């Protein structure tokens, strides 16, 4: 499928696993230059190398996106390596794998009684 995004540049947050990695691979398959980001720099490097070996354009950016300084540094590095960012994919870690019933219960905020 051609989405008309070939040649664009994408910054995919938390793309060393799960949904972020799947999105990064899909974008790369569409001809997008992709910044693979994550706290595990060696894993980001491995993934970028695999994408490059498949003929795609990808770079690794080790990043802690939980702080403003980490975000700034990661974006600056991605722009330095790939040029201006056209596509931003905001992604973050989800719960650890397991059954939903194993998650701790939470309380919902109280409902307001609007007339």
* Structural domains for the chain: 9-93 (3.40.50.720)
- Helices 18-29/41-53 angle, 10° precision: 30
State the Cα–Cα distance between residues 14 and 37, nearest whole angstrom.
Answer: 5
Q: What 3-state DSSP class applies to 93?
A: coil
| pTM to 2 decimal places | 0.81
Question: Which tens digit of pLDDT belongs to each residue from 47-93?
Answer: 999 999 999 999 999 999 999 999 999 999 999 999 999 999 999 87
Which of 12, 44, 46, 45 lies closest to 28, judged by CA? 12
């Amino acid at each position: 499928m051609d989405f008309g995004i070939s040649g664009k540049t994408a910054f995919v947050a938390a793309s060393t696993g799960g949904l972020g990695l799947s999105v990064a691979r899909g974008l790369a398959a569409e001809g997008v230059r992709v910044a693979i980001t994550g706290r595990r720099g060696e894993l980001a490097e491995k993934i970028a190398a695999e994408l490059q070996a498949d003929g795609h354009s990808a770079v690794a950016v080790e990043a802690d996106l939980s702080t403003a300084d980490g975000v700034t540094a990661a974006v600056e590095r991605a722009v330095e390596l790939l040029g201006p960012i056209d596509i931003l994919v905001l992604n973050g870690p989800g719960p650890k794998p397991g059954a939903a019933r194993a998650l701790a219960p939470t309380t919902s905020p109280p409902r307001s009684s609007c007339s």
